A = this chain, B = another copy of it.
Amino acid sequence: MRVCVVGCGAVGSLFAASLAQLEDVEVWAYDLDEAHVRAINESGLRLSGAGELTGRLRATSEADELPACDFGIVAVKSMQTGPALAATAHAFPDGAVCSVQNGVGNEEAIAEHVERVIRGTTFPAGRIVEPGHVQWDVQGDTTIGPFEPRPASLEECARLADACTRGGMPTTALADARGPQWRKVIFNAATNPIGALTGLAHGRVCERPDLRRLVSALVDEGKAAAAAQGIELDADPEELIDYAARKDVAYDHKASMLQDVEGRRPTEIDYLNGGIVRFGREHGVPTQLNEAVVALIKGLEASWTS
């Protein structure tokens, strides 16, 4: 089996290095960071922290170099999905391409470029510490399944899930993989922009009763948008929010959107709260607070350009 990881940042690297542990999988990585690519090709891709391993794989910033692959695993930032797939789609003439990105709407963007798409949600997290070296902060499960409008087969999903699991990233294939995806997008949409707008880490957001109420009100809108689509959440996002707020879990964690705001980089708001608003609108579900949050974050992004 040949797999190409599209976007070899922190999450992409976890998949790439893990899959590279397997004899029966050949791993390629496509990434625009040339220093990272060079380090991977010279010394392998090293993970440390929650797992310690080095994966041998081929990395490139030149999409032309990619051979035909059986699977793609897309891990670029949501707003880069379109350009990344436009560049790499030729590598998946018969392959199935799986998103492991944040938010909703990524599979739709992938489906504009390839025939068979896999919906995916992953909970592990990490960060690049230097070219070729990723700190694995949090272990966790991945759930994948056919993307309904342009599906890969469940059997293909099961093959990819089996490889990821054997490589060290526990992955389940389901006929309907929307439950975990919506649980995660609701979690992220209810907490990330609140951290980004206030500058507070996750635990401090949660311990302020007024902000925790706002978080729950955002969760409720997301749950209503999911329910209107017939999506059954695999667990209550509120549990994840409270769990993450524990001092021994992610109390001091600055949401990735807060990190983006501090670095004045575009955020993933369109795929988080923006996705909830879009799906809510399609299904007649009011999402006033999520709309407000989208407007505020996009206003904040606009303030960086005068």
Which of B197, B217, B295 contacts A210, CB < 8 Å?
B295
Indicate whether A285 reaches chain B with its CB closer than 8 angstroms. no
Report the separation of the CA atoms of residues A197 and B295 in the bound assembly, to the nearest whole angstrom.
11
A148 to B184, CA, bound (A): 51
Interface mask (A287-300 → B, CB under 8 Å = 1, otherwise 0): 01101101110111
CA distance A295 to B296 in the complex (A): 14
CB A257 to nearest CB in B, in angstroms, measures 14
Segment among A85-93, A199-207, A234-242 that sits at the interface with chain B: A199-207
Whether B197 and A296, one on each chain, are in contact in the complex, defined by CB atoms closer than 8 angstroms, is yes
Q: Which B residues touch A213, using CB under 8 A?
A: 291, 295
Q: Any chain B CB within 8 A of the CB of A250? A: no
At the interface, yes or no: A211 with Cβ under 8 Å from chain B? yes
* Besides A197-B299, A208-B295, A211-B299, 17 new A-B residue pairs in contact (Cβ under 8 A), listed by A number: A194-B299, A197-B197, A198-B296, A198-B300, A198-B302, A199-B299, A199-B303, A204-B302, A204-B303, A205-B299, A208-B298, A211-B295, A214-B292, A217-B288, A217-B292, A288-B288, A296-B296
Taken together as a complex, chains A and B put the C-alpha atoms of A197 and B196 apart, in Å, by 10
| A214 CB contacts on chain B under 8 angstroms | 291-292, 295-296
Task: Tell whether, in the assembled complex, residue A194 and residue B303 are in contact, meaning their CB atoms are under 8 Å apart.
Answer: no
- B210 to A303, Cβ gap below 8 A? no
Of A292, A302, A303, most B-chain CB atoms within 10 Å: A292
CB distance from A288 to the nearest CB of B (A): 7
B198 touches A299 (CB 8 A): yes
The oligomer's copy count stands at 2
**A200 B299 Cβ-Cβ under 8 A:** yes
A288-B289, A289-B289 are contacts. A302–B208 as well, Cβ < 8 Å?
yes
Supply 9 A–B pairs (Cβ within 8 Å), ascending by A: A194-B299, A197-B296, A198-B296, A199-B300, A200-B303, A208-B299, A210-B294, A214-B296, A288-B289
The reply to whether B296 and A194 form a contact with Cβ atoms under 8 Å apart is: yes
6 closest A-B pairs (Cβ-Cβ)?
Answer: A198-B299, A199-B303, A210-B295, A198-B300, A214-B295, A211-B295
State in angstroms the CA–CA spacing of A299 and B298 once bound together.
Answer: 19
**Known interface pairs A197-B197, A289-B289; A210-B300 also in contact (CB < 8 Å):** no
- Using CB atoms, name the residue of chain B closest to A299: B198
CB distance from A227 to the nearest CB of B (A): 20
Q: Does B200 lie within 8 Å of A291, measured CB to CB?
A: no
**A296 contacts which chain B residues (CB < 8 A)?**
194, 197-198, 211, 214, 296
Residue of B nearest to A297 (CB): B198
Distance in angstroms from A208 CB to nearest chain B CB is 6
Once bound together, how far apart are the Cα atoms of A213 and B294, in whole Å? 12
**Residue with the highest number of chain B CB atoms closer than 10 Å, among A194, A294, A295, A298:** A295
Chain B residues lying within 8 Å of A198, measured Cβ to Cβ, are 296, 299-300, 302-303
Q: How far is the CB of A86 from chain B (nearest CB, A)?
A: 28
Compute how far the CA of A147 lies from the CA of B210 in the bound complex, rounded to whole angstroms.
Answer: 31
